[in-house]
Amino acid sequence: MTHPIRLVRWPDPHHAPWQDPPTTAQVAVGRGSGAAAEVPAEPKPADPDADRPAAPEQPSYAERAVALYEQRRLRQRLFGHPDGLFQEPAWDMLLHLFIQQERGERVPISNLSSASCVPQTTALRWIKVLEREGLAQCWQSKSDARVRYVTLTPHAQDIMLRYLDRI
């Protein structure tokens, strides 16, 4: 089940809320009673946080990566697969590895191939490219010699965090 992707606009912490001018009744209170009431020449600055709703919590790194991955799948579903127009298997792999690592999951090569939406032979070539570039590392399962796992390197993890901080 896919969830619609919501774009969130964060409140601007530097924007002061708009102030209403004093009403006629507020000004008349000081004039009509005969008592000397002070009417300030200028309204006092409002507390910028007084009526502002609390800002929503910022999405986690994993939630941001999931949103990116889901946007890519939506784009692919809507536009179809015209000659691999939107295929970026390396980026899909990096997103998938990051998401799974944030969830504490190990990623078998077969799952990474599926997540990249390309044939397994193409995925295997891209995994080798990621390894050669120092972005991914593979290792053999201790319990099943047929299974190999893939993970992001610490360097790739750091790059993904910096990227997700900036989007």
For the segment 31-53, what is each residue's pLDDT rounded down to a tens digit? 555 555 555 555 555 565 566 66
Distance of CA 27 to the CA centre of its chain: 49
d(C-alpha 141, C-alpha 139), whole Å: 7
Query: With the CA atoms of 145, 149, 154 and 158 taken in that order, what torsion angle do they form, in degrees rounded to the nearest 10?
Result: 180
- What residue type is assigned to position 127 of the chain? I
Of 149, 147, 129, 152, the closest CA to residue 138 belongs to 149
Q: Which of these CATH numbers, 3.20.19.10, 1.25.40.10, 1.10.10.10, 1.20.120.400, describes 61-166?
A: 1.10.10.10
- Contact criterion met (CB below 8 Å) for 123 and 93: yes
Average pLDDT of the chain? 78
- Contact criterion met (CB below 8 Å) for 79 and 71: no
- Contact criterion met (CB below 8 Å) for 116 and 136: no
Handedness of CA 58, 156, 136, 119 (dihedral sign): positive
User: pTM of this prediction?
Assistant: 0.63
User: Any long-range contacts for 34-39 (C-beta under 8 Å, 24+ apart)?
Assistant: none
Boundaries of every domain in the chain:
61-166
Tell me the pLDDT tens digit for each residue of 110-162.
999 999 888 899 999 999 999 999 999 999 999 998 999 999 999 999 999 99
d(C-alpha 73, C-alpha 42), whole Å: 55
